[in-house]
Amino acid sequence: MSSNEILRCDALTIAYGSNVALENVTIHVRRGEFVGIVGPSGSGKTSLLRALTGAVRAARGSVERSRGVRIGYVPQVESVDWNFPITVGEVLAMTRTKRRWPSITDEERNEAAEVLASLGLGGLENRHIRELSGGQQQRVFVARAMFAKPDVLLLDEPTSGVDVRTRHEILHLLHDLHAKGSTILLTTHDLNGLASHLPRLICINREVVADGSPRETLIPEVLERTYGAPLHVLEHGGMPIVLDHDYELSESLRDAERELRQSRQANP
């Protein structure tokens, strides 16, 4: 493992009984990278994240983490029990399991307040998690991961089931964290709202289909191999926009798509 790598898996295969979730996947993540993993449901995105954390065992291949690396994991909000009796402050404090006594120290309380304030959640320590807005709920779990002082942040579908405004909030938050030096790896279904804004994308469908920038990966050929269905790709302001194949393209949009293909062929 090279010194600037923080996580890597080589020829990784994950299986649940006879059901193979991932096959022969090789991914190397360097410190400070911001990586998105895209693919259809059941393509092995969450299995890959969990394998990188060590929570899922490899059937074949290997997973390596740089020595002493601390991983912050942010689960899908759908998996959270919002009726559990827990306040925002308690969500953060639970990660400090090295200090097991229930009461929180003044130092920890100040640290928690700082993390919450940095994520726009200042003063919400005593609120129940259900009483927060969608964006705040997602940020609480980012805050929990950040409070554990991770070297790398793994997020499973951070924009799943949230409205447009919340998606913007989360995207800005992640870009801020990345700008401050955090290594971030996330899975997403959101090709236009999230994936196309990331510096590096990995398209998977049980195996790695493509790995590169959005301009290299969000192209019809790769997307068809990833999702098993043809998709249109347009460009707006230098950003790729993925459209469902059933979307009725106007003549002008068809021309734009054709021009984009030609320009990419001329300047790959």
Residues 6+ apart with CB under 8 A from 81: none
Q: How far is the CB of 150 from another protein (least distance, A)?
A: 10
Stretch that binds another protein, among 1-9, 81-89, 116-124, 180-188 (CB under 8 A): 81-89
Stretch that binds another protein, among 20-28, 50-58, 59-67, 196-204 (CB under 8 A): 50-58
Q: What is the secondary structure of 115-175 as a DSSP string?
A: HHHHTT-TT-TTSBGGGS-HHHHHHHHHHHHHHT--SEEEEESTTTT--HHHHHHHHHHHH
With CB under 8 A, what is the number of residues at the site for another protein? 28
Binding mask 95-124 for another protein (x = CB under 8 A): xxx-xxxx----------------------
131-152 in b/e form (b: 16+ CB < 10 A) is ebebbbbbbbbbbbbbbbebbb
Question: How many angstroms from the chain centroid is the CA of residue 125?
Answer: 25
Nearer to another protein, 148 or 204 (CB): 148
Q: Does 79 bind another protein (CB under 8 A)?
A: yes
Q: Does 86 bind another protein (CB under 8 A)?
A: yes
Nearer to another protein, 150 or 214 (CB): 150
Q: How far is the CB of 186 from another protein (least distance, A)?
A: 15
Q: How far apart are CA 107 and CA 129, in angstroms?
A: 23
Q: Does 128 bind another protein (CB under 8 A)?
A: yes
The encoded tokens of residue 175 equal: 């870009």
Q: Taking each helix axis from N to C terminus, what angle separates 164-179 and 134-147, rounded to the nearest 10 degrees?
A: 20
Binding site for another protein (CB under 8 A): 50, 53-55, 71, 73, 75, 79-81, 83-87, 90-91, 93-97, 99-102, 128, 148
